[in-house]
């Protein structure tokens, strides 16, 4: 058994720096990890010949072979449960759940076994598993294809939960997740799969670190995943109206980077949390509570949340009513200035 | 994985009746059918294929968010649907458009769902006990089993039939459904359409043995049929539903068919399968062989013209009604989440309405 040893000396993939989509960045991260560490195996439904329904594993089977990238039977509990066993046996499984809601059959394996094995074995048997989950809406998807399921995972002790918002972070955070000794639920905002950005594969990222993606002195928007570009657009619009609005990209939902978020909010005294998921008992609720606890004496107004409504995700013709958008964020920002109303 | 020595076939791909030991128990059920019933089989297969093409066109033209074709599976679906009695309950997967139509569902409901106006929205009590589509693979097998357990507890003269595919057989839910169905001797027919592909994954990744053998380990009789033979689908399903309804416990049918089209409009099968395989199944098309059979029994050109006209009429009607659909109101997002008024949802609905009104004519 070779679990928990460092990766073998890197047959490091040559660094590249180019503009690519988030999907391509994720594909490259998987390819580079497969090339560098022969313990990495990638599997799931349709990830082989098809290259995944979102083409994230495109070309991996052809390049690395059937033993390293393979299609599974159609059973999500089976995919995650066998990943547990493979990880126990020294492999580093990276599994794909086809869509957010299709991961629910695996929830028992994730919550009761993936998340707890390290704890139950007093640290002796860590499970370096990455569970990739395309999540969120805004793509005109039918039911069960657009859930924001992050709260289920973030609420589960033992899981590290990550969601990138840019191709660069997608590459660097997925590499970090695959090197991580513990299980990571890697939530991929599917609406951003085809958004392009520059990726430098020599840049590394650390899990558990938020980043200020736009400085601002009046208001802090706190967002992750698909909501980051929405928050940036709102900040830009607010800037045109004379308000300096900053944006923090949370990037790792659990463990949460209190320091970065707290510093940003203390500097402005006003905060809005933006997320697609229903707001009740959500990650956004947790963020608002933490900000309230740590920044109370700095706040000029209560922390606001702009989230999805507490209803089943709306069908495609109605999802624009459901999703937080620029106007709803601007509306929330206005409520932070009650004297100007 | 294709036909085996155990495959029950009543109508050959050439359109002639098959008389052998496997077909013998079922042929009397076909002999009882009058010409009108046989013509109805054909009518429904042809009309739904035209509907399917029209819906695919509407999707490509941006009218639907998604389309799920049933091309090639009409024989298994039409035959099994006509085997059910009005009091029976049907739990579909998501590709059984013609089963719904035969049970009385206005297929416009399927169009509305896949256009993105609703999450289904039909009411089984109004659609011949045809329940909602289930997009999560295999989950409905347990719902159907539970429904059938209720039928058993009530002593009702009813049965339940559940449709699922070869991919679903790998889901734990389907195995658990077989365990419960057998344990309680529920009046249910598990109708597996083995269309050979779970998106890009061939059936041999799901099972190394023919799938009709699997239920035997659960204590449930299994039978394999040529699913592109509407007569076999009708007769074998009739016999098995009758057995289930009369207290003989659950039954399992594997219908060998083929998904001639893509998994959905989002899929491109040229990436993972061979033209030769599609050709093999194309030569075993359910409609072509049945047309030959009907002609041999004397159906005339007028009948086939009439069916073609009916198919065109439905396609035109669906097209017109799709273009006439209006965007659903925002209030629908908040409707029917709970039975009783819910303070959280009600407050959000009120906020959303006031928010939308605040734009005062501007686009929100």
- Is residue A180 flagged as an active site residue? no
Residue A70 neighbours by CB under 8 Å, 6+ apart: A41, A42, A43, A47, A48, A61
How confident is chain B (364 residues) per 10-residue block, as mean pLDDT? Answer: 91 97 98 97 98 98 97 98 98 98 98 96 96 98 98 97 98 98 98 98 97 98 98 98 98 98 95 95 97 97 98 98 96 96 97 92 55
Question: Would you state the pLDDT for residue B361?
Answer: 61
Cβ <8 Å between A50 and B118: no
Closest CA to A151 of A268, A253, A243, A283: A283
Confidence of residue A7 (pLDDT cuts 50, 70, 90): very low
For chains A and B, CB pairs below 8 A equal 113
> For residues B180 and B160, what is the distance between their CA atoms, to the nearest angstrom?
14
Catalytic residue among B60, B119, B272, B321: B272
Q: Is the Cα dihedral A313, B55, B288, B279 positive or negative?
A: negative
Q: How much of chain A exceeds pLDDT 70, in percent?
A: 96
Q: What is the mean pLDDT of the segment spanning A275-289?
A: 98
Instruction: Assign a CATH topology to domain B27-326.
Output: Rossmann fold (3.40.50)
Complex confidence, ipTM: 0.94
pTM: 0.95
Considering the candidates B259, B284, B289, B293, report the single residue annotated as catalytic.
B259
Q: Active-site residue B355, yes or no?
A: no
Residue A327 and residue B267: Cα distance in Å, rounded? 35
Active-site hit among A145, A155, A320, A321: A145
Residues of chain A contacting B198 with CB distance shorter than 8 Å: 45, 74
Question: What is the rounded distance in angstroms from the CA atom of residue B187 to the CA atom of residue B251?
Answer: 8
Peptide bond into B325 cis (omega under 30): no
> Are β-strands A252-254 and A160-162 bridged in parallel, bridged antiparallel, or unpaired?
antiparallel
Across the strands, what pairs with B130?
Answer: B90
Residues 44-83, chain A: which have Cβ within 8 Å of B? 45-46, 48-51, 53, 71-75, 77-78
**Spatial CA neighbour of A203 closest among A181, A178, A170:** A170
Tens digits of residue pLDDT in B221-258: 999 999 999 999 999 999 999 999 999 999 999 999 99
Task: Confirm if A198 and A19 have CB atoms less than 8 A apart.
Answer: yes
Hey, what domains does chain A have and what are their CATH numbers?
A: 18-200 (3.40.50.970), 211-340 (3.40.50.920)
With contacts defined as CB-CB under 8 Å, which chain B residues touch A50? Answer: 199-200, 271-272
Other CB atoms within 10 A of residue B363 CB = 5
Q: What pLDDT score does A8 carry?
A: 45
The radius of gyration of chain B from alpha carbons, rounded to an integer in Å, stands at 22
Residue B155 CA: distances (Å) to CA of A261, B86, B147, B179, B220: 62, 17, 12, 21, 20
pLDDT (0 to 100) of residue A13:
76
Closest CB to B345: pick one of A46, A75, A311.
A311
Name which of B114, B172, B352 is nearest A321 (Cβ-Cβ). Answer: B352
Annotation says B259 is catalytic:
yes
Band (pLDDT 50/70/90 cuts) for residue A4 is very low
Looking at CA atoms only, how far is residue B256 from chain A in angstroms? 19
Element (H or E) spanning A87, and its range? helix A76-88
In chain B, residues with a C-beta closer than 8 Å to the C-beta of A71 are: 200-201, 205
Which of B116, B172, B201 lies nearest to residue A77, judging by beta carbons? B172
Q: How confident is the model at residue A341 (pLDDT cuts 50, 70, 90)?
A: low
**Out of B97, B263, B284, B289, which one is annotated catalytic?**
B263
Candidates B170, B200, B266; nearest CB to A75: B170
């Amino acid at each position: 058994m070779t679990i928990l040893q460092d990766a073998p000396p890197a047959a490091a993939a040559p660094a590249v720096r180019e503009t690519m989509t988030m999907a391509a960045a994720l594909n490259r991260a998987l390819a580079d990890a497969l090339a560098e560490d022969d313990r990495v195996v990638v599997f799931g439904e349709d990830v082989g010949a098809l290259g995944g329904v979102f083409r994230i594993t495109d070309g991996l089977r052809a390049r690395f072979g059937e033993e390293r990238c393979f299609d599974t039977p159609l059973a999500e509990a089976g995919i995650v449960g066998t990943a547990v066993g493979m990880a126990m046996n020294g492999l580093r499984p990276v599994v794909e759940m086809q869509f957010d809601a299709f991961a629910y059959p695996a929830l028992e394996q994730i919550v009761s076994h993936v998340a707890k094995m390290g704890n139950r074995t007093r640290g002796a048997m860590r499970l370096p598993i990455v569970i990739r989950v395309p999540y969120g809406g805004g793509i005109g998807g039918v039911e069960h294809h657009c859930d924001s399921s992050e709260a289920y995972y973030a609420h589960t002790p033992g899981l590290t939960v990550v969601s990138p918002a840019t191709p660069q972070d997608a590459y660097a955070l997925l590499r970090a997740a695959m090197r991580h000794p513990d299980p990571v639920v890697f939530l991929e905002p599917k609406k951003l799969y085809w958004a392009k950005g520059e990726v430098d594969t020599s840049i590394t990222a650390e899990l558990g670190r938020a980043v200020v993606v736009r400085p601002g002195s009046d208001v802090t928007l706190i967002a992750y995943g698909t909501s980051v570009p929405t928050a940036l657009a709102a900040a830009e619009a607010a800037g045109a109206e004379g308000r300096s609005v900053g944006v923090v990209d949370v990037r790792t939902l659990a463990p949460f980077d209190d320091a970065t978020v707290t510093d940003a909010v203390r500097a402005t005294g006003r905060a809005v949390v933006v997320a697609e998921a229903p707001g009740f008992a959500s990650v956004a609720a947790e963020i608002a509570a933490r900000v309230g606890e740590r920044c109370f004496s700095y706040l000029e107004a209560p922390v606001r949340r702009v989230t999805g409504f507490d209803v089943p995700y709306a069908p495609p013709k109605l999802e624009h009513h459901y999703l937080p958008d620029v106007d709803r964020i601007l509306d929330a920002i206005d409520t932070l200035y009650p004297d100007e109303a | 994985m294709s036909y085996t020595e155990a495959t029950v076939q009543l109508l050959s791909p050439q359109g002639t009746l098959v008389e052998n030991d496997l077909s013998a128990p079922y042929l009397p059920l076909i002999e009882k059918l009058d010409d009108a019933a046989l013509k109805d089989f054909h009518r429904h297969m042809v009309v739904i294929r035209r509907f399917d093409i029209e819906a695919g066109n509407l999707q490509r033209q941006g009218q639907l968010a998604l389309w799920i074709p049933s091309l090639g599976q009409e024989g298994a679906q039409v035959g099994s649907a006509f085997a059910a009695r009005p009091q029976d309950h049907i739990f579909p997967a998501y590709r059984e458009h013609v089963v719904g139509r035969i049970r009385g569902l206005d297929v416009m409901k399927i169009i509305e769902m896949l256009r993105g106006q609703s999450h289904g929205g039909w009411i089984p009590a109004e659609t011949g006990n045809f329940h909602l589509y289930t997009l999560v693979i295999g989950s409905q097998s347990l719902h159907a089993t539970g429904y059938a357990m209720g039928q058993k507890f009530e002593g009702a003269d009813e049965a339940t039939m559940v449709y699922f595919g070869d991919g679903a057989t790998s889901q734990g839910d389907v195995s658990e459904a077989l365990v419960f169905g057998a344990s309680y001797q529920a009046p249910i027919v598990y109708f597996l359409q083995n269309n050979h592909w779970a998106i890009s994954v061939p059936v041999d990744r799901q099972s190394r043995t023919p799938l009709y053998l699997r239920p035997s380990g659960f204590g449930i009789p299994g039978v394999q049929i040529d699913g592109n033979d509407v007569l076999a689908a009708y007769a074998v399903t009739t016999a098995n539903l009758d057995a289930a309804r009369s207290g003989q416990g659950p039954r399992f049918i594997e219908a060998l068919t083929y998904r001639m089209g893509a998994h959905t409009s989002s899929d491109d099968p040229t990436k993972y399968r061979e033209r030769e395989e599609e050709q093999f199944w194309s030569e075993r098309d359910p409609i072509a062989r049945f047309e030959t059979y009907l002609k041999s029994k004397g159906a005339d050109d007028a009948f086939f013209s009439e069916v073609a006209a009916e198919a065109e009429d439905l396609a035109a009607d669906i097209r017109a009604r799709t273009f006439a659909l209006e965007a659903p109101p925002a209030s629908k997002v908040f409707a029917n989440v709970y039975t009783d008024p819910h303070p959280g949802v009600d407050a959000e609905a009120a906020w959303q309405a006031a928010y939308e009104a605040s734009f005062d004519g501007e686009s929100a």
